[in-house]
Amino acid sequence: MVDFAGRHVIITGGAGALGTAVTALLLEAGAHCRIPYRRAADAERFAHRGHERVTMIGDSDLADETAVVRLYDGAPSLWASIHLAGGFAAAPLAKTAKADFAAQIETNLASCFLCCREAVRAMQKSANGGRIVNVAARPALEWRSGAGMAAYTASKAGVAALTAALAEEVAKDGILVNAVAPSIMDTAANRKAMPKADFDAWPKVEEVAATIAFLASPDNRVSRGGIVPVYGKS
């Protein structure tokens, strides 16, 4: 079991399926979790919203620079920042408008960039080091698997490149930056969208969460710049 006792962590996308699993692990390990959200419905159904070490932060548009600065300015002695928020859209390139492409860049890459930047600023200010974990995707490593979803693939490949470059930049500050790259995860939404798929082959959110928790923990003393495949049997 990793140890987060007394440590403060921001988890974007924390109210989603993977975020709920990550939050559960970190709370069990003693963390104080700050969970930003945009829609009230997301907060209302979040399983851990009433926990004494959970702080819910509303009106959090993670592609809005001012909102992200405000989110991190309010975080006391930040240890880890875990960036799960994002969006998915699939369409052939010939049917993808510039606005659709821009939306994927904003939702996946720009939001990750802004959260990474503010996390680094907070961690450098405290001078205690820290951990950043991003979420790429399998097509970010295996580009050909992104056929039919080129805009999404490009945005997640950007997350992977950002992760590796930033890891090199801030290692001297004791800040270790990594990412996970999931394949299709076993969630209720994915099962509904692909009812004929082999669910047993998909990685479980709890399994992906365990990898994220380790990378974000003080037990991770040397891993940085990694884009870790979390594919399960798929």
Where are the extended beta strands (E) located within 14-69?
32-36, 54-57
| Cβ neighbours for 13, distance < 8 A, ≥ 6 positions apart | 19, 83, 84, 85, 86, 135
Contact predicate 91/149, CB 8 Å: yes
Contact predicate 208/185, CB 8 Å: yes
Residue 35, classed as helix, strand or coil, is strand
Please identify which of the residues 37, 72, 152, 231 carries the catalytic annotation.
Answer: 152
Contact predicate 193/180, CB 8 Å: no
Count of beta carbons in the 10 Å neighbourhood of residue 106: 16
Residue 154, classed as helix, strand or coil, is helix
Using alpha carbons, select from 164, 162, 230, 206 the residue that is nearest to residue 20: 206
The amino acid at residue 200 is D
To the query of whether residue 152 is one of the catalytic residues in this protein, the response is yes
Where are the extended beta strands (E) located within the chain?
8-12, 32-36, 54-57, 78-83, 130-135, 175-182, 227-230
202 phi and psi, to 5 degrees? Answer: -75, 140
Using alpha carbons, select from 224, 204, 222, 228 the residue that is nearest to residue 22: 204
The residues that are catalytic are 152
